[in-house]
Structure 1
């Protein structure tokens, strides 16, 4: 029995496995526990293994590659069209195996262990930032319930807590203790977040590719490490536009009255990277607009005919393309060489 393509559904602790021969006929159906999946695959002759790009897929993919197999990871939404009616785990595995054979299928590049480590650090920091924002909002709400309105902004909140809180009217002793507890918790979150950011700064200085990304306006240590871990040397994308489209920064086209027109961006792909690039573009917009370069002239022309937020997203699209070019070439960014 020769298996050419093996489809694996990784959804649960017990994985469904379907093998196809060279004619595309199903020759094997199995249920294998995740813990023994590598031992099962080890007994097979080298073949193509298709899996959805989900949690644990990259780790298993690296192990399968070490055993001599060809691994193809696919976005789950692209596999959905190949799954037959009466959906179950076996049909999912069969659809994954069939999708892995399609010449037009878009595959996900296997990530290394270092890339996954950096990605995990970014996700943890992002969760802590969300917890910090929720804690600040709760602290402001506690004070607002007592008639104490704090101006917006973290700096103004810290100044008020430091200067005005001791003499604030309408706060009981218990509320003073509660606010002290919230402030202590807020300081702990700040310390942990700054620790991750220092680690990102060290990574960006020690890695040559990430260091070259820092030369791009609007790309700091957060963007450089996150993007560097996501795309590596950029070889997963053939063109700069492919990377911008992967981030969802390209406009959607709709047809109205028989005429096509462009509307908002697609917002596909990694939300974290897209939002980080947009924030970076917003921070770099004014400085670039004042520069005497082709990029500065392009921004000034856009500002004259479009709203500021639209220009920010357009600049984020431009920065995404520049990021890909820098990652692909390994050279540092020079604004004088950017064409309008």
Structure 2
């Protein structure tokens, strides 16, 4: 029998901590029938094998290493539900909260059906999210070290000879030749080492992401949208997971925390700032895309200027980020072409993507031009295109497999 057809007979709440967890179970009438039991985390699997059965519905709050706990418990239970902590706190606000009480409250709320579940991402999405997070850590590490190096220049009124990127390996000798005190020279060398380390790690991480992106058919769909490169595309896909989770574009906007706060009661109505209640990585990726789109794309330049006439520049960019996210939803949910992009712009985006991913990583041994034509045909556009302008050159595209337009 399918476990979903089994009616849970026990609802077990787990209050998980760094070194141990507390388990309490209730029946469908919310009467305590198990525990509280305090168990070391190292004995989680043994406890689950001994105490749990296929009629148990387990619930726990989102915390560090939640997914490992979920994977461990799932084979022994009817279901494992992960609850978002703010949702639990909205329902119950106790002045006195202990581990035992927290586990009991979770079990009783779950038995009453009051806890909306958090989506449990599959392993592939978890690994991709972790990879994106690691890349962001390296970006921040490099940025912090560069800021410290820049402060040395300000302190001594110096100017680096290479203004575009004074932190390249070729510039190291110049930095080390600066007349500094021994301890300050030591700190400077440490920061130079940090920048070099972060740069090396970023190259490795981006190679891994490129290898993944080359095999994900959704990446080219996103890259056609102005401002979205392959790193941003992979970040967006990792944050979203399955687009089918969002029935409308507004649901995705809310998930990203890009929707505005609204108060509508009686005769009082106002809209505030964005909620920032969703995934920070998705919100950051869309703001980065907006910053690029308003600089390089005609439609979004005009839209940005229009919004700047009504609000501050930063708010205008956030508004563009929200609009781009709506485009992302339509693109992924319906395989639609970005209505503000021209076939030639899309072709250039695909061609540039092919080289960023490296031709050797492209599926089915495609060349960059074959990759470009394949995805143009997939979107049903660009049948009339024969060449791609690229700098001072024009590359000849393979013929389209689609019938001529019109």
Same fold, TM-score > 0.5, yes or no: yes
1:23-42 aligned at under 5 Å gives the runs: 23-29=29-35, 30-42=37-49
Structure 2 residue ranges without an equivalent (≥5) = 1-7, 342-406
Indicate the SS of the match to 1:18: strand
- Check if 1:263 corresponds to 2:263: no
1:108-119 aligned at under 5 Å gives the runs: 108-119=118-129
- Check if 1:232 corresponds to 2:241: yes
CA distance, structure 2, for counterparts of residue 116 and residue 270 of structure 1: 14
Partner residue in 1 for 2:146:
136
CA distance, structure 1, for counterparts of residue 115 and residue 176 of structure 2: 63
Is contact 2:222-2:328 (8 Å) kept?
yes
Structure with the greater alpha carbon radius of gyration: 2
TM-score when scaled to structure 1? Answer: 0.83
Number of aligned pairs?
Answer: 330
- Check if 1:146 corresponds to 2:150: no
Partner residue in 2 for 1:21:
27
Partner residue in 2 for 1:314:
319
Indicate the SS of the match to 1:12: coil
Deviates further, 37-46 or 54-63: 37-46
Structure 1 residue ranges without an equivalent (≥5) = none
User: Residues 268 and 57 from structure 1, CA distance in 2 versus in 1: closer, same or farther, beyond 3 angstroms?
Assistant: same
CA distance, structure 1, for counterparts of residue 106 and residue 163 of structure 2: 49
TM-score when scaled to structure 2? Answer: 0.71
Offset at residue 102 of structure 1 (A): 4.9
Partner residue in 1 for 2:349:
none
CA distance, structure 2, for counterparts of residue 242 and residue 184 of structure 1: 44
Partner residue in 2 for 1:252:
261
CA distance, structure 1, for counterparts of residue 83 and residue 163 of structure 2: 42
Deviation digits for residues 100-134 of structure 1, max 9, x if unmatched?
34546432111222222112112222222111111
User: Residues 58 and 181 from structure 1, CA distance in 2 versus in 1: closer, same or farther, beyond 3 angstroms?
Assistant: closer
Deviation digits for residues 43-62 of structure 1, max 9, x if unmatched?
42322211111122222223
Q: In angstroms, what is the RMSD of aligned CA positions? A: 3.3
- Check if 1:66 corresponds to 2:75: yes
- Check if 1:208 corresponds to 2:217: yes
Offset at residue 135 of structure 1 (A): 0.8
